Amino acid sequence: MLDPRDRKILECLQRDAAISIGDLADQVALSVSACWRRIRNLEETGLITGRVALVDRKKANVGMTVFVAVRTSRHSIGWTEEFRATIAAIPEIVEAYRLTGEMDYILRLVVPSVEVYDEVYRELITRLDFMDVSAFIGMEELKYTTAVPLKYL
């Protein structure tokens, strides 16, 4: 069970994982060693799964977001494993989900242009059979966060 200090540590780290342990300890009113122990515990229990640097997509020249909805007529384990391997090998695909409803999967791609999206599309349809592939280009990012809500802990 997490206490309010653990939640505060998580909130701070979700905002800035590069914060110094001293500054973090000050913000959560703990000693440096107690704060460090709590972080290690959160990592060991798997609540913290890693720490990353977030790259500005526009500065990395992949400012366009494309959502791709995929429908397939094949639902075998073999096809699904091949699909997983295919999307894992394409770095422009940054998220993928299996869905309920009319579409089977949704992919989120980041690319510099429609032409590059078309290259990814051609790679997908060359490697796998789909019943339908529909693309939606994000026009404006209204909200983006990597932070998860902590109120359910």
Domain membership flag for residue 118: yes
Whichever domain contains 39, its CATH number is: 1.10.10.10
In which band, very low, low, confident or very high, does the pLDDT at 13 lie, cut at 50, 70 and 90? very high
The total of other beta-carbon atoms located within 10 Å of residue 136's CB is 11
- State whether 68 and 37 are in the same domain: no
> The domain spanning residue 71 has which CATH number?
3.30.70.920
Asked if 34 and 68 sit in the same domain, the reply is no
Is 133 within a domain? Answer: yes
Same-domain pairing of 76 and 125: yes
Domain range enclosing 98: 64-137
Name residue, tokens 């977001």. Answer: 65
**Domain-located, residue 30:** yes
Any domain includes 99: yes
Read off the pLDDT band of 1 (50, 70, 90). confident
- Indicate whether 74 and 128 sit together in one domain: yes
Nearest 5 degrees, angle CA 34-CA 52-CA 144?
Answer: 110
Task: Give per-residue burial for 35-52: e unless 16+ CB within 10 Å, then b.
Answer: beebbeebeeeeebeeee
Residue 153 is assigned to a structural domain of this protein: no
**Based on the structure, what is the number of domains in the chain?**
2
CA distance 56 to 116: 19
pLDDT digits (tens, 9 = 90+) for 70-109: 999 988 999 999 999 999 999 999 999 999 999 999 999 9
- In angstroms, the CA 129 to CA 146 distance is 32
Residue 10: inside a domain, yes or no? yes
- Return d(Cα 85, Cα 149) in angstroms, integer: 30
pLDDT of residue 101: 94
